[in-house]
Structure 1
Amino acid sequence: MSPPRVLIVDDNLMNLELVSFLLQAADIDVSAASNADAALRAIAEVAPDLILMDIQLPDIDGLTLTRQIKADPRTRATPVVALTAYAMKGDEARMLEAGCDGYIAKPIDVTSFASRVKAYLARRAASSSS
């Protein structure tokens, strides 16, 4: 069985490197994109099992990009998990309303990050097999 594929969408190189390292160490295939255009290309090429979406991107915000992904019948079922420093009251509702399937607050907890991502992947696998 092939490892799960995760697309990380984040314009911060340090965040990309840290998240990539943690996921690769957990036997997860990782692709990365630093803006919306690159993310849309990567989604078409890689068909990720999960997208980790930074909310603040340079070209459009991550919630707008999430809405685009969820509006497309080809990618609607792909889970999108927001990576955000905005974990204030009301922010979770905005993320869920935009189509995010959950969120992970930044700064990420390096000890639990990979297991949290694997939990989202397991939910995806369970929903696609039922």
Structure 2
Amino acid sequence: MANNQNKSYLSPREAAKLLMVSPITVRAWAQKGLLPSETTLGGHRRFLRESVEQFAKQSKAIPERSDLRVLIVDDDKQVAGFLVEWLSGLDEPFIVSSAADGFEAGSKVYTFEPDIILLDLMMPKLDGFAVCQQIKADPDTRDIRVIAMTGYPSLENEQRILEAGAEICISKPLDTKFLLGLLKAEL
């Protein structure tokens, strides 16, 4: 018991900061057995500082990711289908997935682990404003880039989504050359 009190434990967020990755990535490494972790009685993962530091030194243990994961969130199946097909067909290292509404986007943020979300503003039930606010309010997902898209451009909509945390709001029909430039800024 006294031995455990002398050990320095890190939360997933603290370990992620030390490793310069997202907490989602740290949890994924733990689930795959790449990064040793312990579970508290409350069910939370904790990492020994020594284990995290040793993991960081083993650069080969950290898989290099040259791909860019893009999640398209749009209830318009034609728009979403076009974007999936277009991005998948480019000679860029994009991995693409889509969600048909805000609720599906909420779960895909954790399972797909996107780097960027292309987010429609006007969707039934949970609109893009609410989705963006939730993503940016969660410490595990707030670093995901959000590019908002709308078929109803207005200064009010743009201001609302930027205040929610999106980096930009672009109008539909989309200027694919401009959009590709925004996406490539991540590469």
- Smaller-chain TM-score bracket: 0.7 to 0.9
| TM score, norm. by length of structure 1 | 0.84
1:41 paired with 2:103, answer no
Q: Compare relative contact order (CA 8 Å, sep 6+) and give the higher one, 1 or 2.
A: 1
Query: Quick one: structure 1 residues 37 and 91, their matched pair in 2 at CA, closer, same or farther if it must change by over 3 Å?
Result: closer
Residue 97 of structure 2: aligned partner: 31
**What CA distance in whole angstroms lies between the structure 2 residues aligned with 1:77 and 1:69?**
9
Q: Choose which of 119, 130, 142 in structure 2 pairs with 1:53.
A: 119
Contact 2:72 / 2:119 at 8 angstroms: preserved in 1? yes
**What CA distance in whole angstroms lies between the structure 1 residues aligned with 2:169 and 2:175?**
13
1:63 paired with 2:102, answer no
- Which structure has the larger Rg over C-alpha atoms? 2
Query: Number of paired residues?
Result: 121
Q: 3-state SS of the aligned residue for 2:144? A: coil
RMSD: 1.5
Q: Which runs of 5+ in 2 are unaligned?
A: 1-64
1:11-26 to 2 correspondences below 5 Å: 11-26=75-90
| TM score, norm. by length of structure 2 | 0.60
Q: 3-state SS of the aligned residue for 2:97? A: strand
